[in-house]
Amino acid sequence: MKCSLCEKEGAKESPVSGEDATLINCEVCGNYEIDGFFREAYEQKDTLEKAKYFAFTREIFEFGDELPKIGDPAKMESLVEPYASKTTDEKIDNMLLYVKKRSKFLGESVEWDDEINYPITYSPNPIETKELRDHAREIGLIREEEGKVILKKPGWDRAVELNEKKVTPKIMVLG
């Protein structure tokens, strides 16, 4: 089946007992819960608008403490709007945080696939994420080999600093 947010094939879903909600497991968006009303409203959004939502769910899935729950479209808009105005530095910072989270030590390589990981960089598509990765490599934050990303010392240090400042994203309750 297709993911409700990014529309990638291969997502899994299961109903949430006693609610008009579905639990979605998607390799792009992460795990999240979505209600039926939001699904219908979401279908009307354009691609750039949709990107804010899967950036939101993926970030909370990766860095939050709770399962992202997507509900009332009016309430959701205020939560996802900041994702539309992320700077290049903020996008790269989130990539560094993601790679650091998966690295046990400086120099450890982490699998990276732009087709799956583009929401981590708040990007609407994999092409922009590749450009961000290229930029991060050019400024000496990462290196790459055979589909893997490796933080260089400046990238590692930046991720450690960011991790110390990172505020756990807050989520909303369905409805």
Please check the confidence at residue 74 and state whether its pLDDT lies above 50. Answer: yes
Q: What is the pLDDT of residue 17?
A: 83
What integer pLDDT is reported at residue 169 of this predicted model?
52
Domain 86-165 has CATH 1.10.10.10: yes
Mean pLDDT score of the chain: 89
Q: Which two tokens stand for residue 39?
A: 């699904």
Residue positions counted in the chain: 175
> Are 54 and 28 in contact, with CB atoms under 8 Å apart?
yes
Give the best-scoring range by mean pLDDT among 5-9, 48-52, 151-155, 167-171: 151-155
43 compared with 101, residue with greater pLDDT: 101
pLDDT at 130 over 90: yes
Give kind and range of the element (H or E) at residue 138: helix 126-138
pLDDT: which is higher, 126 or 41:
126
How far apart (Å, rounded) are the C-alpha atoms in residues 24 and 105? 32
Q: Write out the DSSP string of 36-105.
A: HHHHHHHTTS-HHHHHHHHHHHHHHHHH-SS--EE--HHHHHHHHGGGGG--HHHHHHHHHHHHHHH-SS
- Indicate the pLDDT class of residue 39, thresholds 50, 70 and 90: confident
Q: What is the pTM of this model?
A: 0.83
- Stretch(es) of the chain classified as CATH 1.10.10.10: 86-165
Does the pLDDT value for residue 170 go beyond 80?
Answer: no
List, for residues 1-24, the tens digit of each pLDDT value: 889 898 889 999 999 888 888 999
* Residue with the two structure tokens 């994203």: 169
At 122 the pLDDT is 92
